[in-house]
Chain A
Amino acid sequence: MLEIKNLHVVVEEDGTEILKGVNLKINEGEIHAIMGPNGSGKSTLAKVVAGHEAYEITDGDILFEGESILELDPDERAHLGLFLAFQYPVEVPGVTNKTLLREAYNTIAKERGREELDPLEFEDYVHERLDIVEMKPEFLDRSINAGFSGGEKKRNEIFQMAVLDPKISFLDETDSGLDIDALKIVSKGINHLAGENNAICLVTHYQRILDYIVPDFVHVMLDGKIVKSGDKKLAVELEEKGYDWLNDLASVSVNGEQK
């Protein structure tokens, strides 16, 4: 479904190279986890897939269902079925969750040739989706993320994913800032949404969320490259040993990182 080939990425503003040749293939029905220390480039990878304009791709390609998406704007990628759950969801005072979601849902529906929902139909649909992340209906009428707690923001990201029904979702540090109860709810929601026809890629620093969501593949990212891939046992190993033992797999040492 998604194939990342030899991806090299620099920060547009200052030319700093963040991704140094990433290769990754994600198929339908799979759950992947990309793990790595801070600064390894895993969040950048998620943002680049979503089309963030702060980064410039200097080499390589990203293929979605066989077609390059590098020239597509973030919204066009969303129309194809890509989704990014943000590490730091943006607050948008004055726009309610419902307004955004209905406009987003209908735009995507139109692009994908599905039927748009009128306000009443959307109301029914959205309420049913709320249950997936155990959110109260009042959430719908609140401004997007404005005044939300860290946990509420993360839950709201998964709720948006539930409404928009993407084909592939990158979940960037969705577990950070969640207490154990919220983590269980969010994990349950993600498991509910994972299916035969979609794929999920968890981007995470810690193994904790993987106690609740079992990945088919675990990748370790160091210094802008995926240096090791394996199954869920790799995550356990990382939890025990940290990332240091993998340093010699990275061609360049991880500069200035806390270990």
Chain B
Amino acid sequence: MPDIKKQDTFLSDLLAKETSLNGKSTAIKKLRQKGLEDVQKTSFPGRKDEDWRFISLRELYSDSYIPASQIEVTLPDISELFIEESKNARLVFVNGRFSADYSSTDALPEEVTLGNIADLSADGEALVDKHLNAYGDFEDDIFSSFNTAMLQDGAFIHVPKGMKVDTPVQLLFVQTDADEPYFTTSRCLILAEEDSEITVVEDHVGVGENKYFSLPVVEVNLERGAYVKHTKIQRESMQAIHIARTAAHLKQHSNYESYTITIGAKLSRNEPRITQLEEEVEFTVDGLVLIDGDQVSDTHSVMDHRFSHCESHQLHKCVINGKAHSVFNGKIFVRKDAQKIDSFQENRNLLLSRKGLVNTKPQLEIFADDVVCTHGATIGHLEEDEVFYLKSRGLNDHQARELLTYAFALETIENITVDSVQELLVDEVHNYTSRTLQNQD
């Protein structure tokens, strides 16, 4: 059985099996080759690496994984995972493999391209070949290299100049139940041309309770005046490992608004990296984490302000119960001569249990002098005064704590504009609070 610890044999094994599948285009082959080379030059991270010192990857290294393509797929009815608003603007991937049956793109204007990366590349879609892997600037990062080496299916969205798309696009990544731990990668490439507008809901769902390793990479490019709203929902299986990278490049007057919601996975890591390429841009990198039991959630973000006049916003809220562990490391760079930057960062943690653990580390590196960067981190329990106030009005302990937890979480999701996504998240928050308030320790 291929062992992820022995990276050389693992990868060549995997690649040997993957060549018969999609992704036959020359461009993708080249990228895979490059990814493979990069993997071989890089080592897996461990506690000694500064960026990984808060968490242990033992959970990842303790198992062997087989390629997702080798497992037998038994898929339950997944229609309840479909977002109403994205009825015919949806791509579905099952264990990383594109599913034409479940996907539908009829609701989108003809000029908009929404499809599978491998198919489009094979059909000679020049945009895919030109832009794929152009924005995922994660240096010496074995995980994104791994993803590139495994490149095959993935979501491609192209919104042409001036096109404002009302219909939100759902990118649904379903991971199925299996007897053996498996390994799956996915890729998204979102290209928003000048003055275009699009809303994307990236949704990772585990339908079983099994262990698997999911490794998605998302690249977003915003040309001048483009506006991309990106919501990511991670609701993998509670045994899963989810290590994700998201990179966005912003040109003048563009606005990238992202909300990342972490609910599932035993071990998850998000690395949003926003890079400003021209003056006058705006972006939001908000997050909500709801974890319990022995879940670990780690967010390492980078907000790279390279030019003047940028407004950025990061509100990262975490609710921690049981022995769960939350890590936040928020880097803010303001490069030399990048003046008039207005950057807000706040990490707020609500600990519902005594045994929960929080590491939080705002990290500001500012080389310009005319900037406003506010940042803060708080860790706290529910205020007993608030609980008493609500109880004195007749709410029982459970209702009071649930309401206060819900109120804490709400702030990070109330700006999401897709109604059914909001409803879904409100339900998820309720599920979480009623579950956690029953088993506190």
Contact = CB atoms under 8 A, between A and B. Distances in A.
For chain A, what secondary structure do more than half of its interface residues adopt (helix, strand, loop), or is it mixed?
A: helix
Interface string A71-110: 0011101110001101001101111000111011101100
Residue of A75, A93, A111, A143 contacting most chain B CB atoms (<10 Å): A75
24 contacts: A50-B392, A51-B392, A53-B384, A75-B396, A75-B397, A78-B392, A79-B394, A84-B392, A90-B389, A92-B386, A92-B390, A93-B411, A94-B407, A94-B408, A99-B403, A100-B393, A100-B395, A103-B403, A104-B390, A104-B393, A107-B395, A107-B396, A108-B394, A164-B394
Nearest to A161: B393
A88 to B, nearest CB: 9
A13 B248 CA distance: 52
A94 B383 CA distance: 14
B404 interface: yes
Interface residues of A, number: 31
B350 to A, nearest CB: 12
A90 B199 CA distance: 38
Interface string B33-76: 00000000000000000000000000000000000000000000
B397 A73 contact: yes
A233 interface: no
Contacts of A79: 394
Contact of A78 (B385, B394, B407): B394
A107 B399 contact: yes
A75 B385 contact: no
Given A75-B396, A103-B395, A107-B399, A89 B407 contact: no
Contacts of A105: 394
B335 interface: no
Interface residues of B, number: 23
A248 to B, nearest CB: 36
A44 interface: no
Nearest to A74: B391
Contacts of A86: 389, 392
A160 interface: yes
A115 B386 CA distance: 27
Interface of B: 383-386, 388-397, 399-400, 403-404, 406-408, 410-411
B392 A100 contact: no
A78 B393 CA distance: 6
A75 B410 CA distance: 25
B407 A100 contact: no
Given A94-B408, A103-B399, A160 B386 contact: no
B394 A107 contact: yes
A125 to B, nearest CB: 16
Interface in A212-230: none
A192 interface: no
A74 B408 CA distance: 23
Given A95-B404, A100-B403, A160 B385 contact: no
Nearest to A76: B396
Contacts of B394: 75, 78-79, 104-105, 107-108, 111, 164
A78 B389 contact: no
Contacts of A100: 390, 393, 395, 403
A97 B36 CA distance: 58
A157 to B, nearest CB: 10
B72 to A, nearest CB: 45
A206 B260 CA distance: 53
